[in-house]
Every structure is written in structure tokens, then in C-alpha cells.
Chain A
């Protein structure tokens, strides 16, 4: 009897919290098809007509389309750069032994502990003096550097699990060091690379503060930055439909990525945290 009561209570709590998590997103989803007048008339109702007008306006007029491609460009470039640099370094830290290699490893790990706000002001002026302020290139370089500690943390742990004998066989066959890394070790580390890749994708796609500081021209904005500015503007213009549509556009890619790669992501969190 008591057991049944406890089970029911647990089930109710889970359902309620589930609704709290999911409903705001569902509400956002169908409201993005409503006009602003409809929204003010009745907050709950479904749209009269399922019209794409908000999306078209957001994509074209509010420049969300441009921001979307900016985000794609920045995210993909960061991914390639960061995974390339990070995997090489991790491979070396895991498989080569030389003086100072441990020190370098811990220096990278220390980067996980620094709050981003400490380095913000000097970073801004560093980028300014390198003429990399207000450019995608600058943002990509900074993103890649900031992502390195996590990449190296996970990938070094991963490379360590690959048996050294495989490398020795490669050396015997006269493989060059780079070829050994590129065509033997990298393919073996694929699961680790994919995990880090997914995490990097999600965090760069969603990043706000560095983009806010490093980009100033409106045509360079990434999606989160664009949405934030749009919210600030719409506040005075009271045209919320566009903003709702913009939100859906920024949220969809990562949610889809998660639904498709659900297991990989959950596993990734474990790799990242347990090894720590």
C-alpha cells in the first residue's frame, strides 16, 4: 500500500517536471506560427492558419538566414581546427614520452578551471592589436583555443586506451610519424573524436559571450548573438512572431543532433566526467 503510494507520487512528480521541461518548448514551437495579434488575444490557442510568414520574415528581414550561415561557418571551421590541433597534441601526450610532456598536459587541464570572465578584457585588446577583432577568423581561433583543454582532456584519455603495439608495428613498417598518426591512430580514435566533436558542435553553436565581445558588425553575428540583439530590438517594436521563429531556428539543429545521436552524447558526458 505504502509502496503503491510512493510509486504514484514519484510518477506524478516525473510527469509534472516532464511537462515543465517540454511544454515551454512545445508552446514556443506552435506559437512561432501565430501572428503577434493572435498571441496577445489568446496565449494558449493554436494558430488559426499554420503560416510560415514569421519564419520567412525572420530568415530574410531579421537576417536570421545570414546569422544561420555565419553560425554554420564558424562552427564547422572551429570543429576542424580544434579537432586537428587537439588530436595531434593528445596523441603525442598519450604516446610519446619526453621531458615536460606531463607539465604540458597539466597546463592544458588548468584551462578547464579558469572562468572565462577573467581573461575577457585582455583578450579583447589582444585581438584588437592582432587586427582579429570583428572577424570570423578571430572568433574561430579563439573558440579553437578555448576548446583545447576539454578536447585534450578527453582525447588523451582515449589515445591511452589504444595499445602501443599497433604503433610499434607501424614503425617497423617504416611509417613516418605523421602517417602513423594520420592513417593508423586517428581512425582508431574515431569514437573519441566523434564524442568531442558533438560536444564542440553544441557548445560553439550556442556560444554567446565571446561572440558578443569579439564581433561588432551586424552582418558577422552568429545565431545566439543575432537572437539576443533581435530580442532587444523587438522589445520596443512588439513584433514577437519573428523572434519566436528565430528561436525555433537556433534550437532545432542541436535538438535534432541530440535525438539522432542520443547514446553517443550520454556516453560522452560519462567519458568527460568519470576520468576527472
Chain B
């Protein structure tokens, strides 16, 4: 360890200045802005106290966006880890052939821009030439809905695409964690006559609990931050059926110029995400298992 604090500080200073200016300052300001009425035209801000929050609570679109966001977060929060865990276990425990091939290909969607994923699926879900409708037509299905143009189906389409985009990443996370478990434990399981399910239940699951915690936080942040996919595939429609808090914030700030109000919603989004993250850590607070 070096104790020359001048040299040490000099090394950090450039990064710290950058970080303060472009991250800490905007985030800090956000706390102030949510209490003002501000159209952004000039620096003319009126103190609005809790007015923005009162406005938000009586705004039906805010509630719609909040429910949709929760819907997307809950759906992906359940489906993604379940699928990813199933894939990860099958791949690492050699329950499937060509495991390496699947490990590589399943990760593909995570390399593509969310924008490209959104446009790709916007094509694939096109009721005329999209592969999805055409695939169903192969089985003689007619009178198919217009998917992204249908307020009942659109939210489910978003969920499917979100899952498609995310599973590979979580699979790789879980694989890396499962590979850290010594093979001996599984040998012991076999000798005791335990099946694959019991090995999963009593060895794998407890030993990857740390990773499950990490992935819960990721899923929360990702779910509540849903923006790119929705903005491009449906732009919140039809009839606001896919509007999320993030798209609503964007709309208010950069399309309607209600900067103060947008920041108030962003603040609410932050507090919800933050408290849910803390809550999930508290629920999963059990000490990490180490046999």
C-alpha cells in the first residue's frame, strides 16, 4: 500500500471531477427540480412545493403507467429467472446435448441494441408479413389480432420481447455461479440416491442464493426502467396500454416540456425502485450458505 496521498488523489481527481459534474450534479438537482413548476423555457422556476406530487396522484395516466410498469416488472421478474435458471441448470449439469452451443446462442439477444430488438420484433409481429402471424397461419389460424396494435395483446407482446432480450444474460450469470459449486456435492447427492430435482433443491439453489439476490436487483432496475422497447414498438399505445413510467417521463419532459412534473415522476420511480431493492435484500437477508 502506498501512503503518498497527494499522488493517490491526483490519480482519482480527473475521474472524480467527471463523475461529480455529469452524474452527481444532475442527480442532486433532480431532488430540487421535483419541487418546482418549470416549463424549461428559461430558468424561470416557481417553487411549487408538493404541488407536482399532488398533480401526479390525481393524474390517471400516471397510475396507468405505474400499473403497466409493475405488470412488466412482475411478469419478467418471474418468467426470466425461471427460464434462465432452468437453462443454466440443464447446461451445467449436462442434462442437455450441445450445451456449449446453446450457451453461446442464447446470449445473442444481449449483444443487440434494444432499438434493434424492438424494430426486429416490430417486424416479426407485423400482422401482414410478420413471422409470428404467418407461423400461426401455417396451423390454419385465421382472424389473428394485430398484436402491437391491440390494447389487450400489446402488453403481452412487450413482456415476450423483454423476456427474449433478457434470458441469455441471466442464464450466463447463473451458469457462472453454478460452476463455482464443487462437483463433490453432486457426487455426494448421487451416492445418497438423490435425484436431479433434489440436488437442485438442496445443493444448487442454496449455494447460488447470493447470485439470486444480485439478479433480483438487476431485474427490478431493468423492469422499472423499461423504455427503449416500448418507445419503439408501441410508443406507449395503443390507448396507453403499454405506457411505462419511463416513457411517460420522457413524454412529459421532452415532448410536452413539463420538466418539473417529469422529474417528480422520475423521483417517484427512483424511490419505488430503491425501496423495492432494499426490501428484496431484506427478504433474502438470510446469511449466505456455505457448506
Contact = CB atoms under 8 A, between A and B. Distances in A.
A14 B97 CA distance: 9
A149 to B, nearest CB: 8
Nearest to B104: A262
Interface string B88-114: 001000011110001111111101111
Interface in A141-157: 141-142, 144-146, 148-149, 152
Interface residues of B, number: 93
A49 interface: no
A254 B103 CA distance: 17
A177 B26 contact: no
Given A96-B5, A209-B228, A120 B249 contact: yes
B1 A96 contact: yes
A189 interface: no
A68 interface: no
B130 A115 contact: no
Contacts of B245: 117
Given A28-B123, A274-B176, A274-B177, A177 B131 contact: no
B30 A122 contact: yes
B120 A21 contact: no
A87 B250 CA distance: 34
SS class, residues of chain A in contact with chain B: helix
Contacts of B29: 119, 122, 126
Contact of A148 (B15, B25, B116, B266): B15
Contact of B105 (A18, A44, A88, A116): A18
Contact of A89 (B11, B121, B129, B259): B11
B163 to A, nearest CB: 10
A111 to B, nearest CB: 6
A148 B19 contact: yes
B21 A145 contact: yes
A99 B30 CA distance: 29
B23 to A, nearest CB: 5
A236 interface: no
B225 A14 contact: no
B35 interface: no
Contacts of B27: 114, 118-119, 122
Q: Which 3 A-B pairs have the closest CB atoms?
A: A96-B8, A98-B5, A206-B113
Given A21-B168, A118-B269, 4 more contacts: A10-B90, A23-B131, A113-B274, A213-B254
Interface of B: 1-5, 7-12, 14-16, 18-19, 21-30, 33, 40, 83, 87, 90, 95-98, 102-109, 111-116, 119-124, 128-131, 134, 164, 168-169, 172-173, 176-177, 180, 211, 214, 221, 224-225, 227-228, 231-232, 245-246, 249-250, 253-254, 259, 262-263, 266-267, 269-270, 273-274, 277
